Amino acid sequence: MTITELSPGLTLILGSVLIPLLRGRLRSAYMVLLPLLGLVHLSLLSTGEFGVLHFVGQELVTLRVDRWSMVFGWIFMIATLISAIYALHLRSPLQATAGFAYAGSAIGAVFAGDLMTLFVFWELTAVTSVLLVWAGGGLSAYRAGMRYLIVQIASGMLLFFGALVQLNATGSISFEHIGLDAPGGWLIFAAFGIKCAFPFLHNWLQDAYPEASEVGTVFLSAFTTKLAVYALARGFAGEDLLIPIGAAMAAFPIFYAVIENDLRRVLAYSLNNQLGFMVVGIGIGTELSLNGTAAHAFSHILYKALLFMSMGAVLYRVGTVKGSELGGLYKSMPLTAIFCIIGAASISGFPLFSGFVSKSMILSATGMEAYMVTWAILLFASAGVFHHSGIKIPYFAFFAHDSGKRCQEAPANMLIAMGIAAFLCIAIGVMPGPLYALLPYPVEYVPYTSSHVLAQLQLLMFSALAFSVLMWTRIYPPELRSVNLDFDWFYRVPLVRVTQRTGAALRATLGAGGRGVSAALGGLVLRLEAQRGPSGLLAKSWPTGSMALWVMVMLLAYLLFYYVG
Amino acid sequence: MNHPAGHTPAEPKRWLDHAQNVRKIYYSVWIVCGLLLLAELFIDKHGDVEIEHWFGFHGFYGLIACVALVLAAKLLRRALIRPEDYYDNH
């Protein structure tokens, strides 16, 4: 097998093993060279299916190269390079090793040609990335990491079970367009939806990302959710249900972003909002909208990493990213402030910055296909994202009321990483041609017309006016030390209590009348046997499937009880 | 990690530290918005949607959207706000 038949994900995963063995400058050089090698590896690939393995009668395609996998492969590898440079100041090799293995898993998943290979890499992203959350340190990061892991593993289980249902019905595990009506379609849709932070399945994102280390969040922001966007685009393009889901994702998180005090959590909410644009693009399913989704994922990874890097630098130097504690940092960290503003301008879609040339493709496709309500919601979300990410983040961190905090500028490696990301944000905005050439379908879209530039500038400047007036008149809600309840409250408070009480009640009953319980359990076992036996309901069509399901349920229950207990 | 103390007394004042300069920025946002509306007299706005052709549509939409967003978020916060250590105690 030559290197062109090997997944570029494996380059990073196998390469990550060496990181803990190296020290000092040698390790730093290796961490920069490895993703560069990955970029070379990508450039050597040719279209087609390679690295086919045979496993229990099925063909596993470990390397499928086409325009969809390549555009995500490129941006994932670039994000790996930037994140690696951002991590160079760390003495301990743990985060870099986990980060490379995580990035490699995401790239491996993108190049997977079948659902089993996808599943393996899907779960690998979960177990490698949780180390980055735990690297945040402390009990709250540990607990957030456990919640994160449970949700991610559950997503993988749904994917696995969906794949088995598809295998049972069609005899194939290949990963092509699936659709909701296909066998296992809903299971796979839910698996992708969890990782893509659909409404009510989203809280793991806002919960875990702000708890991760400053380096960890940069890695995390690039891969997991965009892997889900890629998977949705491949499996569910043109699925109408995705349009309202995406619109809800674009709109609701911005209300939370306005009142959230932890600036990295604000960024997590706006990440969720940006995913909404991509999901709408997938739902519309035209060549323009799908191109828009791929282009927006590409530019989004860069500006989101840039914003998280700037806040990570603040966290590293000041020790907090709470809006209520910050302000006036432009005096101490002027370069970080400039990079943050470039990221902010990009996410807001200012002309000459990357968001402008990618987000507008999705908006345009929405308007052209006459989804008027969705179009209006996305336009609202565009104004809103400028408001909370474009203005609020740089304003409260670097300007606003001078907190009196003085610190050093960010370390050189962080500045270099931010500089590369900032350069790419501007380069894509000024010269979108090379990005458009990478997209899955031919591009006829022209972003720079006088009408479009004027419309966007009006939208953004009047949003800035709204912010200025509300600040001037002191109507704008101040940053307060607080948490705001979100959907995760349901499983962090009532669910935990119910489980604890059930456990206590169970123990009490067992002490008092153990026989009654064992009789009841015996009855349950008998009923299960009736369903699972050779002629039972669950065993009728897919014995391996039901077996796998129960193993998954048990594993999930174990994790849940481990967490709650 | 640095945990710096307060101001150094000798630190020179920056341009933004003067209130009149902040006021300049505030009024210049108004002026830029006015100019962007004026520009519409000279640029033919065409969009994918009919209402995009209305005079100043994007500007007014952005203004109203953001004011509504902030006011709604303020109301939302009244219901959702909890002390920082809420989840540690529940």
Record: contact A463-B3, CB cut-off 8 A: no
- The answer to whether B69 contacts A461, with C-beta atoms less than 8 Å apart, is no
Q: How far is the C-alpha of B42 from the C-alpha of A418, rounded, in Å?
A: 39
Q: Which of A143, A465, A481, A492 to mutate to test the interface with B (most CBs of B within 10 A)?
A: A465
Positions of chain A with pLDDT lower than 50, given as ranges: 532-543, 565
Please list the residues that pair with A483 across neighbouring strands: B82
Distance of alpha carbon A265 from its chain centroid, rounded? 14
Residue type, B61: Y
Residue A344's pLDDT is 96
Give dist(CA A306, CA A422) in Å, integer: 7
Residue A322 to residue B74: CA distance in whole angstroms: 18
Residue type, B70: V
Average pLDDT of every residue of chain B: 82
Cβ(A37)–Cβ(A45) under 8 Å?
no
Q: Taking CB atoms and an 8 Å limit, are A467 and B47 in contact across chains?
A: no
Torsions phi, psi of A481, nearest 5? -70, 110
Give per-residue pLDDT as tens, B17-56: 888 888 999 999 999 999 999 998 888 877 778 788 888 8
* pLDDT for res A516: 58
Q: Helix A412-430 to helix A67-86 angle, to the nearest 10 degrees? A: 150
On whether the CB atoms of residues A155 and A133 are closer than 8 A, the answer is no
| pLDDT at res. A494 | 83
How much is the pLDDT for A181? 93
| A372: its two tokens | 């008027």
Residues of B in contact with A493 (CB under 8 A): 87, 90
**Residues contacting A532, CB < 8 A, separation 6+:** A538, A539, A546
- Which pLDDT does position A245 carry in this prediction? 97
Looking at CA atoms only, how far is residue A556 from chain B in angstroms? 23
- Alpha helices by DSSP H, A196-213: 203-208
Q: What is the pLDDT of residues A474-508, one digit of tens each?
A: 888 877 788 888 888 888 888 888 888 887 887 77
Query: Is B34 near chain A, with CB under 8 Å?
Result: no
Those of residues 48-87 in B touching chain A at CB distance below 8 A are 48-49, 52, 56-63, 65-67, 69-74, 76-77, 80-84, 86-87
CB pair distance less than 8 Å for A461 and B59: yes
Closest CA to A386 of A458, A452, A460: A460
Q: How far is it, in rounded angstroms, from Cα A504 to Cα B89?
A: 20
Flag whether the ipTM exceeds 0.90. no
* Tally of CA atoms within 13 A in the half-sphere of A288 that contains its CB: 16
Q: How far is CA A481 from CA A36, A324, B68, B81, in A?
A: 42, 6, 23, 10
- What residues pair up with A262 in beta bridges, in sequence order? A322
Q: Where are the domains of chain B?
A: 16-82
Q: Which of A140, A456, A463 comes nearest B66 by C-beta?
A: A463
Q: Residue A342, exposed/middle/buried by CB under 10 A (0-12, 13-18, 19+)? A: buried
Tokens at A419, concatenated: 């500089």
Burial letters A454-473, b for 16+ CB under 10 A, else e: bbbbbbbbbbbbbbbbbbee
Would you state the pLDDT for residue A518? 56
Nearest Cβ partner for B80 among A407, A484, A493: A484
Using the beta-carbon criterion (under 8 Å), do A408 and B2 form an inter-chain contact?
A: yes
Torsion of CA B48, B54, B60, B66, to 10 degrees: -20
Which residue among B30, B72, B73 sits closest to A465, beta carbon to beta carbon? B30
**What single DSSP character describes residue A65?**
E
A505 Cβ contact list (under 8 Å, min separation 6): none
Q: What pLDDT is attached to residue B51?
A: 83
Q: How many CB pairs under 8 A join A and B?
A: 167
d(CA A173, CA A45) in angstroms, rounded, equals 24
Closest Cα in chain B to A478: B74
**Å from B78 to nearest chain A CA?**
9
Do B81 and A480 meet the contact criterion of CB atoms below 8 Å apart? yes
**CA pair distance A9, A40, nearest whole angstrom:** 13
Record the tokens describing residue B39, joined without a space.
């520009």
Which site among B15, B41, B52, B69 would you substitute to test the A interface, given the most A Cβ atoms closer than 10 Å to its Cβ?
B69
- Residue B84: per-residue pLDDT: 81
Smallest Cα–Cα separation from A66: which of A481, A325, A439?
A: A439
Here the tokens at position A447 are: 């972003």
Average the pLDDT over B65-90 and give the result: 85
